[in-house]
Amino acid sequence: MRLTNFEIKILERAKNDLREARKYYNKCQKGLGQRFLLDTKFTVKSIQNNPRGFEIRYKTVRMAHLSVFPFSIHFEIFENQILILAIIHSHMSSDKWI
């Protein structure tokens, strides 16, 4: 069995989602933003290891839930590349970014 190495590309919009959420959590409690970042990195690594293991949510967009925080990573797969589109709070409507 051949394993594919997937390159991760993160859209600027998703990077902004990450910055805003981290900033919010740091305001709530010192160090909480760092925990959010670590949870996000862990989930991205899981996506990279098995991207097709996550549910298709909208047409070709898949979704992976963070382990600790109420956020999900929305991404697409293109050959050997994973494109992260957004990092969204569970209570936010996807209509705001699709």
* pLDDT tens-digit readout, 4-44: 689 999 999 999 999 999 999 999 999 999 999 999 999 99
Q: What is the DSSP letter of 11?
A: -
Q: What are phi and psi of 43, to 5 degrees?
A: -70, -40
- Comparing 90 with 85, the larger pLDDT belongs to 85
* Mean per-residue pLDDT, 59-75: 96
Domains and CATH numbers, the chain: 7-91 (3.30.2310.20)
Q: Return the number of other C-beta atoms located less than 10 Å from residue 36's C-beta.
A: 23
Show the CA angle centred on residue 40, arms to residues 55 and 5, nearest 5°. 65
Instruction: Tell me if the pTM is above 0.85.
Output: yes
Cβ atoms 18, 26 nearer than 8 A: no
Residue 5 CA to residue 45 CA, distance in Å, equals 11
How high is the pLDDT of residue 90?
85
CA dist 26 → 11, 32, 80 (Å) = 23, 5, 34
